Amino acid sequence: MFSVCLCARFQVAPKESHLTAMKRILRYLKHTPGIGLWYPEGAKLELLGCSDSDFAGYRVDRKSTSGVSWSSKKQNCVALSTAEAEYIAAGACCAQILYMKQSLLDFCVVCGSVPLLCDNESAAKIAKNPVQHSRTKHIDIRHHFLRDHEAKGDITITGVRSEEQLADIFTKPLGEETFCRLRSELNVLDWSNFI
């Protein structure tokens, strides 16, 4: 998904390197037809948010990439620090969590406080501590609703070690071992192993 999103940014004026990357993506898809999500009947539903950011990772305009729960998106503004990029990603993840909680209510599924995994200690502290405001005025105000929803109990910002951050699969290219480990943690299984 990360690779597809990255290549999609160049669809107006692709170069040969983009064609090579797309061929590699298509080869991966051709050789993994049995991979899919697995949600067994009667399994307990637990909503979990994961946010991550690749600070200034897009080399063309130095904008960061946010990885939010199940997607990857280039941020609208250039972040001035890693903490800011992570805080923006966590704010976007909070919005997705609120949307999912509301959607699940349509199916009579009530979710309490949803853990939001963030691997940046500074971003988590900004969300929890309003005293930090004087140091964070440069962060766009629309992202401060994260702090409000943390205070309301809609979400709980939870620290996670960088090596265990599930959202890495959405924000950066990974080695095969890390990619396969994170893919399996997201319950994406290879069905050809079960047949």
Q: Where are the domains of the chain?
A: 32-193
Q: What is the separation of C-alpha 115 from the centre of its chain, rounded to a whole number of angstroms?
A: 13
35 forms beta bridges with 190
For the chain, 195 residues long, the average pLDDT of each consecutive 10-residue run is 77 88 89 80 82 70 66 70 82 88 88 88 76 60 76 88 83 86 84 69
User: In this structure, which long-range contacts are made by residues 128-136, counting pairs with CB atoms below 8 Å and at least 24 apart in sequence?
Assistant: 128/157, 136/84, 136/87
Six-digit token string for 153: 């109990």
Indicate the residue type of 110: V
Q: How far apart are CA 158 and CA 179, in angstroms?
A: 22
Output b/e per residue, 62-84; b: 16+ Cβ within 10 A: ebbbbbbbeebebbeeebebbbb
Query: What's the number of CA atoms in the CB half-sphere (13 Å) around residue 89?
Result: 39
Six-digit token string for 75: 């941020």
Specify the CATH class of 32-193 in words. alpha beta
- The per-residue pLDDT for 186 is 83
